[in-house]
A and B are shown apart, each in its own frame.
Chain A
Amino acid sequence: MTVAVDTKYDLQSKIEEIVGEYGAKSTALIMILQDVQRQYRYLPEEALRAVAKTMKLPLAQIYGVATFYRSFTLKPKGRNHICVCTGTACHVRQAVVIVDKLERDLGITAGETTADGEVSLETVNCLGACALGPLVTANGIYYGNMTVTKVDKMMSEVLHKTYDSETTEEAA
């Protein structure tokens, strides 16, 4: 999987393949965009134009949808993706402390990616594993019952497993 976008021809045929799986129905627009994002790690402008063309929908509608929903990003995410759950149960279990620590260590605020493109940090609303709060997922791997002291260990595991990130599944 590559972050760089394919050549124009490859992109068009890839988009057509993805759209074809869902029958090009407008009901499936969000799922189509999610698959496109899975392919390219973000939603490149060319891809959105290709989707609009293939599905015969106005580009303005596609762009509006792509910017409205939080699961989409128009900027490339980092190679490693850290999500801190800030659902109510985790908040009540002091998730904010974990977020602060990660922001301090990485030097970015939640929602951003580090300048070298290695790590992006995000907060999400409730992953549904409230018994394990505060919960952090790193490249899809769940780290439950997080405390501030466990963060360093998690980050070193994450960064040293960088070469493995292509084989782990995304949780969200």
Chain B
Amino acid sequence: MGLDINTKKAKKNAYRISKVRGESAARIRVPGGCLKAGILGMVQEIAEKYGNGTVHLTTRQGFEIEGIRLEDIDAINEMLQPIIELLDINQTDPGTGYPASGTRNVSACIGNNVCPFANYNTAEFAKKVEKAVFPNDLHFKIAFTGCPNDCAKVRMHDFGIIGMTMPQYDPSRCVACQACIKGCRSLSVNALRLENYKVVRDTEKCIGCGVCVTKCPTRAFTRSPKKYYKLTLMGRTGKKNPRLGEDFLIWTDEDSIVKIILNTYRFVKEYIDPNAPGGKEHIGYIIDRTGFAEYKKWALEGVELLPETQIRECVYWSGIHFD
């Protein structure tokens, strides 16, 4: 008897249609890439009971359990339930797996739980955004990285969030050892110089990476109490015009970022190509069509930017054109 499977429904349920007839792969989203180790055992159990015993670690920090049978989807969904609950994924009907797959797992570098360079808890912010945007069928890619090193490659995402800190300098604690200046020169953008034995920061150049703070041996440089972010927009891979995301907001805050992402869902609903295959169109191509000014109008609706936030009024992308 031939298999009778609604592939659209299966895909929306976060199952891939395999090249092997009858087979599928179950995708597990792990917002922020951070999980309790116990979940690994649950993934193993599913892989060994229903799959071929192999798990792929996805580029978006999820799991993909390979070699499962399409007819086992319901049984696997039951087994996914504790994982979905432990990772606190928004869900409509318990026991039915993931309610959507269009908005991809929100990924993050390891962040300030571990990394000395990170300027914030990336996983925490990633989970917050996941809670705000999921489930949604629209194709959104969002990623978080702790500092401008961008280990998470957030500039290849629709939304890239890069951690920043506004360096606070107390000249009375500075011994002019120049560790910050040397650090900024060799590891960052050379925004510091010594004048009259005190450090002067070029605020135009400074990217808020925080290297000066980590290098300072006397706590003359410290982090700002407020956490800041750079928001980059509409980076992408793909066949037509892969490109890096460009800066939109510099020295912005959490609330503004969450609002802008949610506003973008409204924008996409309004302007997405109704004939887009599988209802999937990269947001960047939609903005290419509407123009950035129209997008910005939607994105900033109801957003109260901080006084110190720098906004790029016009954003231009380059990248490689194959189309």
Same complex: no
